[in-house]
Amino acid sequence: MKHELPTLPYAYDALEPYIDARTMELHHSKHHATYVAKLNEALQDHPDLQEQSLEELLKHLDSVPDMIRAAVRNHGGGHHNHSLFWKLMKPQGGGEAKGALGEAIASTFGEFAKFKEEFTNSAATLFGSGWAWLVKDESERLSVIKTPNQESPIMMKMKPILCIDVWEHAYYLKYQNRRPEYVEAWWNVVNWEEAEKNFNTV
């Protein structure tokens, strides 16, 4: 079974003006596609691992052979993170979390604005390339974390709810070095229904 690049649930220009079409196109058709190709390449001589779902592979990186573990972490993580990320954005998104997720955010962070501030701060201060996340741990507790490179919370037994890619390739064409501006704009395209779906599934 080969891993495949998912199609975007909207057009490349659908998130304009917050995220530009050229960035979306390169990010999806080049960067994400490369993670998928390199993951398949790493697994090509490992038919047993090809049978596993991406989640299983990432949850049990310890049982992946040494020789390909870094490739699976980087490219498998990259494939999984981007697949989540695309669905967590939509045109006419933004606003605040509602429903069960909205309640959990309010009870964890005090109010939505506090959560937004903490998440924004994590995304802005992450050094180098990586991701900021809202995650749920095994005792259902919410927290904001950052991961370097293409590491995923599922490698740490945590469930991803919301994420933002802060690699320069995610914003450089439009925002150059102004990552905080990109993060601020990104809040306008957050797909809270998708985040709530992530929150409600185990």
Binding site for Mn ion (CB under 5 A): 165, 167
Smallest distance, Mn ion to C-beta of residue 176, A: 17
For Mn ion, the closer CB: 5 or 106: 5
Q: Which amino acid is at 188?
A: N
Smallest distance, Mn ion to C-beta of residue 13, A: 18
> What is residue 190's DSSP assignment?
B
Smallest distance, Mn ion to C-beta of residue 82, A: 6
Sign for the pseudo-dihedral over CA of 85, 81, 183, 169: negative
Smallest distance, Mn ion to C-beta of residue 132, A: 13
SS3 130: strand
For Mn ion, the closer CB: 82 or 136: 82
| 154 and 84 Cβ atoms separated by less than 8 Å | no
Smallest distance, Mn ion to C-beta of residue 67, A: 25
Convert 137-196 into a string of H (helix), E (strand) and C (coil).
Answer: CCCCCEEEEEEECCCCHHHHCCEEEEEEECCHHHCHHHHCCCHHHHHHHHHHHECHHHHH
For Mn ion, the closer CB: 31 or 46: 31
Cite the DSSP H helix spans in 93-157: 99-109, 112-125
Closest listed residue to residue 62, CA positions, set 181, 159, 157: 157
- Is residue 192 classed exposed, middle or buried when 0-12, 13-18 and 19+ CB atoms within 10 A define those classes? buried
For Mn ion, the closer CB: 80 or 136: 80
User: What residue is closest to Mn ion based on CB?
Assistant: 165
Smallest distance, Mn ion to C-beta of residue 151, A: 13
For Mn ion, the closer CB: 97 or 122: 122
For Mn ion, the closer CB: 172 or 187: 172
